Amino acid sequence: MGARGERRADHGRSGRDGPDRGPDGGGGHGRLGVRASARRQSPVPCLGSGAEGPHGPRVDRGHERVHRTRAHRARPRARGLRAHERGVYTPEAGAYEGRHVREANESIINDLADAGALFHRGEIVHRYGHCWRCHTPIIFRVTEQWFLSVGPLKQKMLEEIARVRWTPDWAGSARQKEWTENLRDWTISRQRYWGTPLPLWLCEKCGDLRVIGSVEELKAGANYKEGMDLHRPWIDAVTFRCAKCGGGQHRVKDVLDVWLDSGVASWAQLDYPRNKDLFKRWWPVDWIVEGNDQTRGWFNSQMWAGVIAFDRAPYESVLLHGWLNGPDGRQMHKSLGNFIEPSEVIAKHGVDALRLYLLRANAPWEDITFSWEDVKNAGRTLNILYNVFKFATLYMTMDKFDPAAHPLDELVKNLTPEDRWLLSRMERLKDTVTAQLEAYELHRATRALEEFIVEDLSRWYVKMIRDRTWKEGEDRGKLAAYRVLHEALVTTAVLLAPFCPHLAEELYQAIDGRLLSVHMSDWPKAREDFVNANLEKAMSTVRDLVDIIAKVRQKENVKLRWPVRSVTLRAPTEDAEAALRQLQPVLLEMANVKAFRVMPAEGAFEEMELSLLPDPQAIGKVYKAWWSKIATILEMRPADEVQRELLEKGEYRMGIEGQMIKILPNMVRVERRLPQGVARVETPYGELFIDLRVSEEIRAEGMAREVVRRVQQMRKDVDLEVEDYVRTSLRVPEGLVTLLEPWRDYIAHESRSRTLTIGTGDVDEEYIVEWPNVDGETLLIGITPLHMREALDTFTDVPGITERKAIALFDSGYKTLASVATASRDELLKIEGIEEGDVRRIKDYVEREAKGAEMPPCSVCGAPGRADELRCWRCGEAPPGTLSCPNCSRPIPKGTYICPHCGFGGAGARVAPAPAPIAAPVAKPIPASVAPTPAPAPAKVELPIPEQLPAPALEATASSTFLVKEEKPQQSYALFLDGINRGRQGFCVTRVYPQKIREKYGLAMDVPMLWLSNVGKEDSVRPKDLEKLSLALEQFITKEAGGFVLLDGIEYLITNNNFLTVLRLVQSLRDQVAINGATMVISVNPSTLDTHQMNLLEKEVDAVVTA
């Protein structure tokens, strides 16, 4: 610590350091003022509006010069009138004594003028420091303070700045380096009522200084009390006897700058130096992040402290982040009215949309000007992803696609070029996002994800595979598309999880869900065998060509649903020609083109037309005033005829006003031109000819697509599912009947129409809509839902029964599986498409269904139930509606008190031997209102015997909290039951279904229980709702004198929240337990927490029991 010295003290700040007061001990940049050199410890008055403040002028008595100082440069000492700490002049000020410095301004200026010492008087508009709370202009005074000397440290600090990784690089190499090079001694003392005390005691007689370095040393002082608050002002009561003169040593009243506290945070939080193991494990920290103002704040204070204590920086890398400004570009302030409430944004667009916007808008170290529109756009991106998810799950569910049954590697031979392209893009995305995250380029990572979701997945791949998903039966190409789409969605969910955790979790649980959370997934690693740079380049070329064709369509007002007659590429580049050889079908489909041709550079577009261009001057020389009429007539003549006669005869004869005239070759020029309706475009890949002319065939297909779109809209209007069938009738003009007839099957298939009528007669359906101006025609369309879906879903559950066969069963009059089961073999074989194997499979399926229904899904995590699993195979929860038999452990339905497997619970049942149980509550009989119907052979009905538990390790005393370390919650329940047996009221919080606990341990219904579960039932609490859990427990503890609380499931709470949040809950409950004479037992599996977490948890309890 350096010596005491002068420092300007600010007043009017209400006890808080302002933004210009940091570890540098000085003020802001570019300070302008009138100052004089000063003796050591000579105070300087503040002269009201002339007081020195940030960037403000100052006038000192008896001096008439202006002095500009750069930031952080040592300032000259000042001399003048002395002001009291309350801003009034002391007796040394003479006539100004007792007057506030601002009130005395005018008098001082007048006195200077009367004495002839006033050089100039005027007003200057400038920046000036104000109190952050009440906005009062501050007053600076010179006072004695304590400093840390920077001289011996500066070189090492600069070396550490060069060693640490800074993001962006200039934050260290320029900004932090420049700050440190200009650094001055750090003023570490403050004058505050409360704070971390300066650990210095001065002898009132001889001035001997005592430095206290630990609580143990402090205990030697007078007036020290065990457990006392060590902050100021309470620590000021502690005094020492001076070792030199025997006088009293009292603490220096100053407190430490709060930046010193923050500077030592990296090791103070590890309880160093008392706990060296944690320090060795976790220090120095790998990474810190803060705002760009912390160059002079936290980054700086930590560097000071680290170099002083350990001769190195306490961090390895630093990320600088910018600020979120208001929509007007200024910093958000309530006083400016430009602040945005996050809750308002979340309510409108969702929290994930807000997160994505903030992360993608700019580089993390750049400021963001808030934009509602950009948040909305981020929400659109997430909606696009959700729509892709809905599309995938819809068709995968319809086809009962099981990704586990179709591994990607087994479908490699069935992958199309578009499948391989998406896999390559996906693997490249993994590398891109990973690399950008490691470089802290969060904006680039999120933008790469957004581009993949919007451009690659939604606007390209899903459109390419849509027709494949409509194929019926076990089509390997369709399975390959499903598997690739499933892989892309799972990968996207995992990569998106750090940025948009809520949507990522929802997608993951719906399409994968093998783990309890997407955040438990391993970070994706790219498969190099799927990366195909050439294919990506070729697809990029095709996408560019499709975009060019789409722009031409838009310019010529041609709808995307109407096919383009042909596209010709003349003189293609080598890369384009190679791409189109491989991906021509993709171009045809995505551009909706009927034919595509490639033409060499020397070739001519075969659809070119001849045209005649008369020469007015040549015609006028011969025929004078007739030249205009002749030119008009020539333009109307067939160009090929005129060209042929000119070539064969050297002239072309034509009549005008009764006379025959000759047209010579110099009078007309024959040229080739594009037909009307054909567009020519120069592209980087060659010359493109796009034939937009509409033939009868083109019009027929276009009108068929228009009909399909309108039927699909009508299906949405009546809220039909995609797989629902309808009956459709169309009334169209007579000319369209013949035109649409060849497209009947297409319309019926695309609109899921079982029957389709096209004619000019009336339409008699349930829902009818008139569609005017469909390419100039009026269509009347009616649909009637056939309500087949439920029956078809039931039929297709039978292995081997395709939708086509299910429809045949439905058309034959069978509406349910039960009706099919009653049919004879011969009756079923008469149905078209039903074979002998189908009949056998239907019968076998019906018999299996009759023997036992499929286990329901897990009520906690939603995983499909498995009859052979005693607990959920994924989360460990017992299957809904079942309990494990205490004797044989097989599942039995709830309410069954006699095990159907081993007979446990019945009269004379053989029970497996068990060790003698400890004293436990006697099982109470079930109330008559809920007792099951007796079996034919009556037996005494009673609850199963409680699970055999170990003896209680101790007597759980009142006002105490116990931590039981055990793999299974047995000792904790033994303590809990022992407490209840001693007459204490219990309250159990458990991860296991409460009724199972009651039956297992014989707990009475008056023992309240809370189930940690997401099912949302009564007497349950969601694991994330810690506020509700805390409130319920605190109400019980305060209401029930000497209550006994068992918390079983703390690992589950930590998994769904975080360790520190749950630790704070334990701390709060522990205090309530102590105050109200209650007891709390916490069961924890030690293997689920790391050593640091377990140590922190053990510190919060009165005793630890190791089972």
- Supply the pLDDT for residue 739: 92
The mean per-residue pLDDT over the stretch 517-534 comes to 93
Q: Which residues contact 897 (CB under 8 A, 6 or more apart)?
A: 905, 932, 941, 942, 943, 944
- Supply the pLDDT for residue 263: 93
- Supply the pLDDT for residue 830: 87
Segment 768-811, tens digit of pLDDT: 999 998 888 999 999 999 888 888 888 888 888 888 888 888 88
By the 8 A CB rule, do 469 and 386 touch? no
- Supply the pLDDT for residue 652: 82
**CB-CB neighbours of 332 under 10 Å:** 16
Task: Please count the CA atoms within 13 angstroms of the CA of 1089 that sit on its side-chain side.
Answer: 26
Segment 1015-1047, tens digit of pLDDT: 666 788 888 888 888 888 988 998 888 899 999
Residue 233, preceding bond cis, omega within 30 degrees?
yes
By the 8 A CB rule, do 460 and 571 touch? no
Which of the residue ranges 45-59, 683-697, 889-903 would you say has the lowest mean pLDDT?
45-59
- Supply the pLDDT for residue 31: 24
Q: Vertex 838, ends 834 and 840: CA angle to 5°?
A: 135
Segment 81-114, tens digit of pLDDT: 777 778 888 888 888 888 888 888 888 899 999 9
The mean per-residue pLDDT over the stretch 126-155 comes to 86
Instruction: Tell me the three-class secondary structure of 938-956, residue by residue.
Output: CCCCCCCCCCCCCCCCCCC
The DSSP-derived string for 438-487 is HTT-HHHHHHHHHHIIIIIIIIIIIHHHTTGGG--SS-HHHHHHHHHHHH
Superfamily per CATH, domain 351-531: Isoleucyl-tRNA Synthetase; Domain 1 (1.10.730.10)
Confidence of residue 286 (pLDDT cuts 50, 70, 90): very high
Residue 14 has pLDDT above 80, yes or no: no
**CB-CB neighbours of 801 under 10 Å:** 22
Which of the residue ranges 150-164, 518-532, 902-916 would you say has the lowest mean pLDDT?
902-916
The mean per-residue pLDDT over the stretch 857-865 comes to 64
d(CA 258, CA 8): 18
- Same fold yes or no, 186-319 and 960-1106: yes
The mean per-residue pLDDT over the stretch 519-528 comes to 93
Residue 370 has pLDDT above 80, yes or no: yes
Segment 210-244, tens digit of pLDDT: 999 889 999 999 999 998 999 999 999 999 999 99
By the 8 A CB rule, do 1030 and 1069 touch? yes
Segment 888-931, tens digit of pLDDT: 656 666 555 566 666 665 544 333 333 333 333 333 332 333 33
- Supply the pLDDT for residue 895: 55
List, in sequence order, every residue forming a beta bridge with 1012; answer none if it has no partner: 1021
The DSSP-derived string for 538-596 is HHHHHHHHHHHHHHHHHHTT--TTSPBSEEEEES--HHHHHHHHHHHHHHHHHHTBS-E
- Supply the pLDDT for residue 245: 92
- Supply the pLDDT for residue 249: 94
d(CA 899, CA 902): 6
Q: Which residues contact 153 (CB under 8 A, 6 or more apart)?
A: 304, 307, 308
Which of the residue ranges 59-73, 288-302, 661-675, 870-884 would you say has the lowest mean pLDDT?
59-73
809 closest CA partner among 792, 789, 826: 792
Q: Are strands 767-774 and 777-785 parallel, antiparallel or unpaired?
A: antiparallel
Confidence of residue 142 (pLDDT cuts 50, 70, 90): confident
Q: Read off the tokens for 184.
A: 């001055």
pTM confidence score: 0.66
Segment 422-477, tens digit of pLDDT: 999 999 999 999 999 999 999 999 999 999 999 999 999 999 998 888 777 678 88
- Supply the pLDDT for residue 880: 59
701 closest CA partner among 736, 727, 731: 736
The mean per-residue pLDDT over the stretch 609-615 comes to 78
- Supply the pLDDT for residue 41: 33
Superfamily per CATH, domain 790-851: 5' to 3' exonuclease, C-terminal subdomain (1.10.150.20)
- Supply the pLDDT for residue 876: 59
Segment 290-319, tens digit of pLDDT: 998 888 889 999 999 999 999 999 999 999
By the 8 A CB rule, do 825 and 834 touch? no
CATH class of 609-673: alpha beta
Residue 417 has pLDDT above 90, yes or no: yes
Segment 191-209, tens digit of pLDDT: 999 999 999 999 999 999 9
By the 8 A CB rule, do 34 and 60 touch? yes
Task: Say whether 723 sits in a helix, a strand or coil.
Answer: coil
- Give the best-scoring range by mean pLDDT among 36-40, 456-460, 1059-1063: 456-460
d(CA 814, CA 826): 15
d(CA 986, CA 993): 17
- Supply the pLDDT for residue 75: 40
Query: So where are the chain's domains?
Result: 4-145, 186-319, 351-531, 538-606+677-691, 609-673, 696-787, 790-851, 960-1106
Task: Say whether 1084 sits in a helix, a strand or coil.
Answer: strand
- Supply the pLDDT for residue 915: 33
Confidence of residue 612 (pLDDT cuts 50, 70, 90): confident
Residue 47 has pLDDT above 50, yes or no: no
Residue 631 has pLDDT above 90, yes or no: no
- Supply the pLDDT for residue 937: 35
Q: How far apart are the first and last CA of the chain?
A: 51
Give percent above pLDDT 70 in the chain. 83
Task: Say whether 390 sits in a helix, a strand or coil.
Answer: helix
Segment 717-736, tens digit of pLDDT: 888 888 889 999 999 999 89
- Supply the pLDDT for residue 656: 79
- Supply the pLDDT for residue 961: 94
Residue 32 has pLDDT above 80, yes or no: no
By the 8 A CB rule, do 1029 and 1021 touch? yes
On average, the pLDDT of the chain sits at: 82
Which of the residue ranges 144-158, 522-536, 618-632 would you say has the lowest mean pLDDT?
618-632
By the 8 A CB rule, do 1017 and 1011 touch? yes
Listing from the earlier edge strand, what are the strands of the sheet with 960-965?
A: 1020-1021, 1009-1012, 986-990, 1044-1048, 1079-1084, 960-965, 1103-1106
d(CA 518, CA 503): 10
The DSSP-derived string for 146-181 is EEE--TTTHHHHHHHHHHSEEESTHIIIIIIHHHHH
- Supply the pLDDT for residue 564: 92
Specify the fold of 960-1106.
Answer: Rossmann fold (3.40.50)
Q: Read off the tokens for 797.
A: 């559950």
Question: In this structure, what are the phi and psi dihedrals at residue 1067, rounded to the nearest 5 degrees?
Answer: -60, -45
Burial code (b: 16+ CB inside 10 Å, e: under 16) for 398-428 equals bbebebeebebeebeebbbbbbbbbbbbbbb
Superfamily per CATH, domain 186-319: HUPs (3.40.50.620)
Residue 72 has pLDDT above 60, yes or no: no
Give percent above pLDDT 90 in the chain. 43
